[in-house]
Amino acid sequence: MWGQPVTTRRWRLATRSGRSTVSASVYCQARTTCHATCLYARGRSASRSTAWGGVFFAQEGMYEFGSRAWGPQPVRNLMLNSVQSALSAMTAGDIGVKTPVDLKGKRVAWIIGAPALNQNMTATLAFGGLTWDDVEKVEFGGYGAAWDGIVANQADSVFGSSIAGKAYALEKSNRGITYPVMDPEDKEGWARVQAVGSYFYPLYATEGAGLSAENGVHSSAYPYPILMTYADRDASLVSKVTNAMIDTFDMYKDAAPGADGWALDKQRLEWVVPLHEGAVNVFKDKGMWTDDLQQNQENLVKRQEVLEAAWKDVNSRQHDSDDAFQEDWMKTRADALKAAGMDPILERW
């Protein structure tokens, strides 16, 4: 049903607190975040680490999660990884691009079957007031192939991470690498970004290919990866896993690039997906929870309730085809969110 797995991910965490031992492990073979979330949803683990698309799109019922088999999911976060690396348009350094507006007319990679990556590039283009109609869309069968295409001068830009291995390869190639500047003071530009990618935030990036503390760039980012679970998971277990991530931080912070992004002082508690009750209890105990955070939490939970009701509404009707179902869901979803005074973000995909 979900295709043959082509990659393997392993995540394991164990710690001891008093007499109790917490152990959470997942061994997922997955080709997309949707497939990996499927394995998780079947009860393979108490929580899992995923890309933002496996959480945000799941909550919203967009793209793969808008199919009959899925629908909006009651997902919850435990912790978010936030580092000083850019998540933006990784661009060849030989074409004179300074800001996203300079991507007009350039060859931009479109990854077949990767809606999250393409939506991210849509948001980056929006900063410059551009859409895909303003660039030359070059299709690639995979993320790695798109990077290779830039090195081979088949494309000029791809959405990615500045700490990706392919970013360093591009930096060392004849083309070099550059990062379009996304000025945090450009309020209109950032409003356009967040209108199509509410999960983005401004970041002064200092980690990655061609970057350092002395040579940073104003760019964009979002939490990645995300430790997520479902709303119905036991709060006590979720609290233990969250505390384990915090208590053992010094043991794993240098284990891999970006691992230091799990630090307690780097947690973004106000984001676009609600936290699990068990994680909230941990942050309350740490004195980090505020009235504003509680209000945001309640608003996000309410959004999920609106989406759930809209999904039930669509499923109460008969549809002649998957396409008809999809059309009904997109319209019903958007109408329900608007009626509740909420932004649909996307009305079609």
Domain end, chosen from 221, 240, 269, is at: 221
Residue 184 lies in a domain: yes
DSSP H or E run through 306: helix 291-315
- Does the predicted TM-score (pTM) go above 0.75? yes
295 Cβ contact partners less than 8 Å away, ≥ 6 residues apart: none
Q: Prior bond to 225 cis, omega within 30? A: yes
Q: 73: domain range?
A: 8-82+224-339
Residue 1 lies in a domain: no
Domain end, chosen from 200, 221, 242, is at: 221
Beta bridge partners of 12: 25
Helices in 9-136 by DSSP H: which ranges? 33-39, 53-60, 115-127
- Considering the domain architecture, whether residues 211 and 96 belong to the same structural domain is answered as yes
Q: State whether residue 340 is helix, strand or coil.
A: coil
**Average confidence (pLDDT) over 51-73:** 89
Domain end, chosen from 172, 206, 221, is at: 221
Q: State whether residue 240 is helix, strand or coil.
A: helix
Number of domains in the chain: 2
Q: What is the CA radius of gyration of the chain?
A: 20
**Environment class of 196 (CB within 10 Å of its CB; exposed 0-12, middle 13-18, buried 19+):** middle
Q: How far is CA 77 from CA 52, 90, 245, 277, 285, in A?
A: 10, 28, 13, 9, 17
**Residue 92 pLDDT > 50, yes or no?**
yes
- Considering the domain architecture, whether residues 327 and 235 belong to the same structural domain is answered as yes
Residue 59 lies in a domain: yes
Question: How far is Cα 2 from Cα 31, in angstroms, rounded to an integer?
Answer: 9
Q: How many CB atoms lie within 10 A of CB 255?
A: 9
Q: What is the pLDDT of residue 22?
A: 40
Residue 347 lies in a domain: no
Per-residue pLDDT tens digits for 254-280: 998 789 999 999 999 999 999 999 999
Concatenated DSSP letters for 57-100?
Answer: HHHHT-GGGGSTT-----EEEEEE---SB-EEEEEETTS---SG
Residue 211 lies in a domain: yes
Q: What is the pLDDT of residue 257?
A: 78
